[in-house]
Structure 1
Amino acid sequence: MSRRADGGTARMTLISFVVPAFRVQGYLRECLDSILGQPETDLEVIAVDDCSPDASGEIIDEYAARDQRVRSVRLSENVGLGPARNIGLDQAVGEYVWFVDGDDWLVPDCLREVAERLRATRPDVLLVDHVRTHWNDTATRSAMAEVFPESPGAATFRLRDRPEAMRLLHTAWNRLVRREFLVELGLRFSDGWYEDVSFSYPVLMAAQRIGVLDRVCVNYRQRRAGAITKTRGDRHFEVFPQWHRVFHLMDAWSPAVDALRPAVFERMVWHYLTVLGNGQRIAPELRPAFFAQITADYARWLPDGGYPVPEGVEGVKHRLVAAGRWRTFSALRAASRARDTARRQARTARRRVGPVARRGARLTRDGLLREYYRAELRRPVDPTLAVYAAYWYRGYSCNPAAIYEVARRLAPGVRGVWIVRRDRVDAVPAGVEYVVAGTPAYYRVLARARWLVNNVNYPDFVRKRPEQVHVQTHHGTPVKVMGLDQQRYPIGAGRMDFAGLLRRVDRWDYSVSANSFSTQMWDRAYPATYTTLEVGYPRNDRLVTASPEEVRRLRAEFGLGPDEQVVLYAPTHREHLPGYRPPFDPDRFVAALGDSGRLLMRSHYFHDRERRPGRPLDVQRVRDVSGYQRVEDLYLVADVLVTDYSSAMFDYAVLDRPIVLYAPDWEAYRLARGVYFDVTAEPPGAVATTFADLLDLFRTDAVRSDAADKARQHFRGRFCHLDDGRAAERVVRRVFLGEQPEPSAGC
Structure 2
Amino acid sequence: MTLISFVVPAFRVQGYLRECLDSILGQPFADFEVIGVDDCSPDDSGEILAGYADRDARVRVLRLAENVGLGPARNAGLDRAVGEYVWFLDSDDWLAPDCLPEVAARLRESGPDVLIVDHVRRHWNETASPSALAEVFPAGVETDTFALAERPETLRLLHTAWNRLLRREFLLTSGLRFASGWYEDVSFTYPTLLAAERISVLDLVCVNYRQRRAGAITRTRGERHFEVFDQWDRVFRWLDGQGPEPQRLRPVVFERMLWHYLTVLGNGERIAPALRPAFFDRITAEVARRRPADALPSPGGTAGLKQRLVAGGHWHTFTALRLAHQATDTARARLTATRHRIHPVARATRDTLWQQYYRAELRRPVDETLAVYAAYWYRGYACNPAAVYEAARRLVPQVRGVWIVRADRVGSLPDGVEYVVAGTPAYHRVLARARWLVNNVNFPDFVRKRPGTVHVQTHHGTPVKVMGLDQQRYPVGAVGMNFAGLLRRVDRWDFSITANSFSTQMWERAYPADYTTLEYGYPRNDRLVTATAAEVRRLRARFGVTGAEPVVLYAPTHREHLPGYRPPFRPVQLLDTLGPGGRLLVRSHYFHDRDPARRSASAERILDVSGHDRVEDLYLAADVLVTDYSSAMFDYAVLDRPIVVYAPDHEAYRLARGVYLDVTAEPPGAVATDFAGLVELFRSGAVDAPAARQARQRFRARYCALDDGHAAERVVRRVFLGQHPENR
Report the TM-score range of the alignment, normalised by the length of the smaller protein: over 0.9
Report the Cα distance in structure 2 between the residues aligned to 1:14 and 1:447, rounded to whole angstroms: 61
Structure 1 counterpart of 2:659, which letter? V
* Contact 1:262 1:308 survives alignment (8 Å): no
Aligned to 2:452, the other structure's residue is in SS state coil
Shift of 1:699: 1.9
Aligned to 1:244: 233
* Contact 2:706 2:727 survives alignment (8 Å): no
Aligned to 2:640: 656
Q: Which runs of 5+ in 2 are unaligned?
A: none
Aligned to 2:221, the other structure's residue is in SS state coil
Query: Is it true that 1:375 corresponds to 2:364 in the alignment?
Result: no
Report the Cα distance in structure 1 between the residues aligned to 2:422 and 2:231, rounded to whole angstroms: 57
Query: Is it true that 1:197 corresponds to 2:189 in the alignment?
Result: no
Query: Is it true that 1:542 corresponds to 2:527 in the alignment?
Result: yes
Aligned to 2:686: 702
Structure 2 counterpart of 1:538, which letter? P
Of 302, 305, 312, which aligns to 1:316?
A: 305
Query: Is it true that 1:22 corresponds to 2:6 in the alignment?
Result: no
Aligned to 2:626, the other structure's residue is in SS state strand
* Contact 2:254 2:295 survives alignment (8 Å): no
Aligned to 2:343: 356
Aligned to 1:641: 625
Aligned to 1:411: 396
Number of residues of Structure 1 aligned to a counterpart in Structure 2: 725
Report the Cα distance in structure 2 between the residues aligned to 1:49 and 1:345, rounded to whole angstroms: 47
1:226-245 residue CA offsets vs partner (Å, 9 max, x unmatched)? 11100000000000010000
Q: Write the mapping of 1:569-584 to structure 2, written as runs, cut at 5 A.
A: 569-584=554-569
Percent identity of equivalent pairs: 73
In structure 2, relative to structure 1, the CA distance for the partners of 1:363 and 1:33 (3 Å cut) is: closer
Query: Is it true that 1:737 corresponds to 2:724 in the alignment?
Result: no
Shift of 1:562: 2.2
Report the Cα distance in structure 2 between the residues aligned to 1:511 and 1:47, rounded to whole angstroms: 28
In structure 2, relative to structure 1, the CA distance for the partners of 1:46 and 1:613 (3 Å cut) is: closer
Report the Cα distance in structure 1 between the residues aligned to 2:23 and 2:433, rounded to whole angstroms: 47
Query: Is it true that 1:76 corresponds to 2:60 in the alignment?
Result: no
Aligned to 1:97: 86
* Contact 1:17 1:46 survives alignment (8 Å): yes
Aligned to 1:113: 102
Aligned to 1:683: 667
Query: Is it true that 1:442 corresponds to 2:427 in the alignment?
Result: yes
Aligned to 1:5: none
Structure 1 counterpart of 2:490, which letter? V
Query: Is it true that 1:464 corresponds to 2:453 in the alignment?
Result: no
Aligned to 1:602: 587
Shift of 1:614: 3.6
Q: Write the mapping of 1:226-265 to structure 2, written as runs, cut at 5 A.
A: 226-265=215-254
In structure 2, relative to structure 1, the CA distance for the partners of 1:144 and 1:542 (3 Å cut) is: same
Aligned to 1:191, the other structure's residue is in SS state coil
Aligned to 1:283: 272
Give the stretch that moved more between structures: 55-64 or 616-625. Answer: 616-625
Aligned to 2:149, the other structure's residue is in SS state coil
Q: Write the mapping of 1:103-182 to structure 2, written as runs, cut at 5 A.
A: 103-182=92-171
Shift of 1:306: 2.4
Shift of 1:742: 4.7
1:28-58 residue CA offsets vs partner (Å, 9 max, x unmatched)? 0110111111112110111101111111000
Of 613, 625, 628, which aligns to 2:609?
A: 625
Aligned to 1:340: 329
Report the Cα distance in structure 1 between the residues aligned to 2:241 and 2:502, rounded to whole angstroms: 50
Shift of 1:556: 2.0
Aligned to 1:98, the other structure's residue is in SS state strand
Aligned to 1:266, the other structure's residue is in SS state helix
Q: Write the mapping of 1:297-316 to structure 2, written as runs, cut at 5 A.
A: 297-316=286-305
Report the Cα distance in structure 2 between the residues aligned to 1:31 and 1:713, rounded to whole angstroms: 28
Structure 2 counterpart of 1:518, which letter? S
Of 408, 422, 447, which aligns to 2:407?
A: 422
Report the Cα distance in structure 2 between the residues aligned to 1:521 and 1:212, rounded to whole angstroms: 35
User: TM-score w.r.t. structure 2 length?
Assistant: 0.98
Shift of 1:613: 8.4
In structure 2, relative to structure 1, the CA distance for the partners of 1:460 and 1:335 (3 Å cut) is: same
Aligned to 2:148, the other structure's residue is in SS state coil
Q: Write the mapping of 1:38-53 to structure 2, written as runs, cut at 5 A.
A: 38-53=27-42
* Contact 1:266 1:308 survives alignment (8 Å): no
* Contact 2:438 2:455 survives alignment (8 Å): yes
1:694-725 residue CA offsets vs partner (Å, 9 max, x unmatched)? 12222222211111111111111111111000
Shift of 1:363: 5.4
Aligned to 1:256, the other structure's residue is in SS state helix
* Contact 2:431 2:447 survives alignment (8 Å): yes
Shift of 1:626: 1.1
Aligned to 1:620, the other structure's residue is in SS state helix
Aligned to 2:403, the other structure's residue is in SS state strand
Give the stretch that moved more between structures: 577-586 or 339-348. Answer: 577-586
Report the Cα distance in structure 1 between the residues aligned to 2:150 and 2:725, rounded to whole angstroms: 59
Report the Cα distance in structure 2 between the residues aligned to 1:216 and 1:695, rounded to whole angstroms: 48
Of 2, 6, 10, which aligns to 1:13?
A: 2
Of 454, 461, 467, which aligns to 1:476?
A: 461
Structure 2 counterpart of 1:356, which letter? H
In structure 2, relative to structure 1, the CA distance for the partners of 1:244 and 1:72 (3 Å cut) is: same
Aligned to 2:29, the other structure's residue is in SS state coil
Report the Cα distance in structure 1 between the residues aligned to 2:726 and 2:558, rounded to whole angstroms: 39
Aligned to 2:249, the other structure's residue is in SS state helix
* Contact 1:263 1:308 survives alignment (8 Å): no
Report the Cα distance in structure 2 between the residues aligned to 1:378 and 1:74, rounded to whole angstroms: 53
Aligned to 1:512, the other structure's residue is in SS state strand
* Contact 2:633 2:643 survives alignment (8 Å): yes
Report the Cα distance in structure 1 between the residues aligned to 2:370 and 2:345, rounded to whole angstroms: 39
* Contact 1:386 1:449 survives alignment (8 Å): yes
Structure 2 counterpart of 1:134, which letter? H
In structure 2, relative to structure 1, the CA distance for the partners of 1:14 and 1:612 (3 Å cut) is: closer
Of 693, 708, 713, which aligns to 2:697?
A: 713
Structure 2 counterpart of 1:516, which letter? S
Aligned to 1:409, the other structure's residue is in SS state helix
Structure 2 counterpart of 1:530, which letter? Y
Shift of 1:208: 0.6
Give the stretch that moved more between structures: 580-589 or 78-87. Answer: 580-589
Structure 2 counterpart of 1:293, which letter? R
Aligned to 1:4: none
Shift of 1:307: 2.1
Shift of 1:602: 0.9
Give the stretch that moved more between structures: 614-623 or 448-457. Answer: 614-623
Structure 2 counterpart of 1:631, which letter? V
Report the Cα distance in structure 2 between the residues aligned to 1:443 and 1:57, rounded to whole angstroms: 46
Aligned to 1:416, the other structure's residue is in SS state strand
Shift of 1:611: 6.3
Aligned to 1:296: 285
